[in-house]
Amino acid sequence: LLILLNLIFVVIFRGCTMDSVHAGTSKDEEDDEIIDEPPKKVFKTVTGASALLDLKNELLKKKREISQAGSKAPTSNKGVLYVKKDEKARLKSEAEERRAKISAHEEALRSEAAEQIALVNRRLKEKAELYEKLQNSGVSHDDDIGEGLIDFNAKKRDNDREKEKERERRRLEEEEEEQQPNEALHHVANEEPRMYGASHVIFSKNEEKRQKEMSDLIKMTAQTEKNRAKTKTLAEKREEVRKAKEKALREKLGLPPLPEPEPEPEEVAVDPSISSIPLPDPPKEEKQRPPPKEREWDRGKGSVNNWVRSRREDRDAEFAPPSFY
C-alpha cells in the first residue's frame, strides 16, 4: 500500500509539472488552429499538498476499518444459520412426532372409511337379497321390522312419547294449582301499568309517602312541560336562522323571495261551559217511500188475499193455530 501511494504521488507530481510546461505552447497552437474534432471529456487533476494529505488520510482510514473488521470476524466456521446439536435433536424429535401423529390420523381416517364402506356394502347386500325375495314373492307380509328394514311405526311412537310428556306436564301443573290456596285476587298492583297505560304510577299506602310521591310527580310534570317549551323555543329560533340564511342566499343569487307562510291563529283559552259544547245534528227525517207500482203478474192477487182474510175471520178460534205461529 505504501509503494502504491508513493507511485500515485509521483504520477500526480509529474502530471502537474508537464501541464505547467506545455501550458503556454498549447495555448498558442490552439489560437492558430481550428479543431473540428468533437469536445473531449476533461478530467480534473488533484493538485496541492493538502489534497495529497487528504488522500493519504482516506487510505489510512480504509486500512484501519479493514483491519478492525478482520479482528471482529468470527474465527469459527459457524454461520448465521448454524444450529446446535441439542436444537437439531429437538427439531428432529418434533418432526418425528409430527409425522407419527399425521400417520396415526391418516390410519384412523382410513379405518373409519373402511368401516363405513363395509357397512354400506352390507346394507346394500341385505337390500339386494330382500328385493330378490320380493321379486320372487318369497317374503311374508307380516309386521316383522327386520324383513322390511324400515320401521314404519317409529314416527308414531315418537308422537306418542311427546303426547305422554305433555300429559305429564299438565298433570304436574294441575297438582301445583290444587296445592295453592284459592284466594280471590281483585286487585293486582303489578297489572295496573299494563291495564291503565305506561303513565300509571303506583303510590305508597302511607299517607306521608303518598303526598311526597304526588308532589314529586307534579314537579316532574312541570319540569317536563318546561323542557318541552324550551325545546320548542330553540326549534323556532333555529328555523328563523335557517329562513334568514335562505333569504340572504336567494337575494345573493337574484332569486325571488319565498312567500311568507300565514301565521297560525293563537289559541284562546275559553272557560268550558255547557252552552259552548256543540250539540249533535238532528237526525234526518226519512222520506216515505212511494208505494210500489202494480205489476202485471201481481194483478188479481188482492182478491185472493181478501178471500183468505175473510175465511180466517169466519174460522172458529178453537181450530185456529197458536198466536206465535
Q: Look up residue 82 and give its three cell numbers.
A: 448454524
Residue 236 has pLDDT above 90, yes or no: yes
pLDDT of residue 193: 56
Q: Look up residue 188 and give its three cell numbers.
A: 293486582
Q: Do 219 and 209 contact (CB within 8 A), yes or no?
A: no
Nearest-Å Rg of the Cα atoms of the chain is 60
- Which residues have CB under 8 Å from 59's CB, separation 6+? 1, 5
Write out pLDDT tens, residues 73-132: 555 555 556 667 888 888 889 999 999 999 999 999 999 999 999 999 998 998 888 888
CA dist list (Å): 8 to 13, 15, 18, 228, 317: 9, 11, 16, 98, 166
Write out pLDDT tens, residues 10-40: 666 665 555 554 544 554 444 444 444 555 5
First to last CA, the chain: 149
Residue 275 has pLDDT above 70, yes or no: no
pLDDT of residue 226: 95
Q: What is the mean pLDDT of the segment spanning 245-250?
A: 90
Amino acid residing at 128: A
Q: Say how far apart CA 56 and CA 63 lie, in whole Å.
A: 11
Write out pLDDT tens, residues 52-86: 778 888 888 888 888 887 665 555 555 556 667 88
Q: Do 20 and 74 contact (CB within 8 A), yes or no?
A: no
Any idea which residue has 303518598 for its cell?
Answer: 210
Q: Do 202 and 189 contact (CB within 8 A), yes or no?
A: yes
According to DSSP H, which parts of the chain are helical?
A: 2-21, 23-32, 49-72, 85-135, 145-148, 154-179, 192-196, 207-253, 301-314
Q: Look up residue 198 and give its three cell numbers.
A: 305506561
**Dihedral angle sign, alpha carbons of residues 40, 41, 42, 46:** negative
pLDDT of residue 302: 73
